[in-house]
Structure 1
Amino acid sequence: MIETERLVFRKYTTNDLALLFGMTNDPDVMRYIRHGRPWTKEETIESLNRFIGWNEDGIGLQLAFSKEDGKLIGHSGLIPQTVEGNQEIEVGYWVIKEAWGKGYGFEQAKAWKEYGLSQLGLSRLVSLIHHGNIRSMKVAEKNGMKHEKDIDFNNKNIALFSIDIL
């Protein structure tokens, strides 16, 4: 199990629909995710099933909880993506609105970057960030990633940040 100084992570289960829907139903959290608006319950169920499936392969999103009080902070992990026809692994992170501005985005991103590079032996990681999401761009940069280029992804022009270890 991965953990940080303040956070503990766990894989999604079918019992986590309410936790995930609490995040996907918040317009502020979802502003820069996928289509930029809250997800329907059906979209959330579909995504939950995908998250559970990813975790069977040792990669995927996991819920992040505060060690101090056990409250949900967000979710994060390593996400398989197809970018311009290439298979990539994305460091992804969400933080619930109540926990914004406390360094949890970086704490999650750093943990997953280190896990991917050192435990999984990956040599490249990316973060796909919607333009305007300045906080996430700063997290990626602080996490050692550089803006590689802008790309079209899921019918949106977004920023591709990356880190390569040779």
Structure 2
Amino acid sequence: MFILKTERLLLRHFHILDGEAMFRVFGDEEVMRFSEGIQTKEWVQAWLRTCLERYYQTWGFGPYAVVEGRSREVIGYCGLFFFPDVAGQPEVEIGYRLARSAWGQGYATEAARAVRDFAFDTVGLKRLIAIIDPANAASIRVAEKIGMQYEKEVMFEGYTHPDHVYVVAAS
């Protein structure tokens, strides 16, 4: 079942058969450069189970598979993640990550704009954040293109450097 449709993309719930497609994302060193590093196929399967068993059932939202409309290929994810404590308050983050083959085509912005609108218009959220490594210029550009602005710096436990929080409020 597709949750959202844009001009070129379809966004839907993940299913366990998306493992290979998502391993092309999470197993790529360049894609994971601003994150925890590359992940194993087992990690990807566990992540998909978390999407199915926790995100969608607990909060009614989560990360969505980004499907290229013409090829029907899963090219990454874009969605909503609940964080119980970001600098002392609960937040919902919009997150996105695409396969390197999908970079530079505006897909991340297109998907993020659709998820932002879904968060405000359907889920009823009043505010979204994006937690971004300050060196990740491409992710910052996507956030800014969907109306987000820098709010503050945060330091998460176990991290060696602070991340930046970008925010957008429902209009």
- Please say whether Structure 1 and Structure 2 have the same fold, judged by a TM-score greater than 0.5: yes
Please tell me the residue identity of whatever aligns with 1:54.
Y
RMSD: 1.5
Unmatched tracts of structure 1, length 5 or more: none
4+ residue runs of structure 1 moved beyond 3 angstroms? none
1:23 corresponds in structure 2 to 25
The number of equivalent residue pairs is: 164
CA distance in 2, matches of 1:76, 1:88: 16
Q: Distance in 1 between matches of 2:28 and 2:104?
A: 17
Contact kept? 1:73, 1:104, Cα under 8 Å: no
Query: CA offset at residue 41 of structure 1?
Result: 2.8
Which of 133, 157, 165 is 1:160 aligned to? 165
Output the CA distance in 1 between the equivalents of 2:157 and 2:17: 29
The percent of aligned pairs where both chains have the same amino acid is: 31
SS of the aligned residue for 1:92 comes to strand
* Residue of 96, 109, 130 corresponding to 2:99: 96
Question: In the TM superposition, what are the counterparts of 1:119-134 in structure 2 within 5 Å?
Answer: 119-134=122-137
Match of 2:48 in 1: 48
Once residues 137 and 98 of structure 1 are traced to their aligned partners in structure 2, the CA distance between those partners, rounded to angstroms, is 19
Distance in 1, matches of 2:25 and 2:111, equals 16
Work out which of the residue numbers 2, 5, 28 in structure 2 matches 1:3.
Answer: 5
Mean alpha-carbon deviation: is it higher for 48-57 or for 120-129?
A: 48-57
Is the aligned partner of 1:61 residue 2:66? no
TM-score (norm 1): 0.92
Q: What residue ranges of structure 2 are gaps of 5+ in the alignment?
A: none
Per-residue displacement from partner, 1:61-89 (whole Å, max 9, x unpaired)? 01111111212221111111131232111
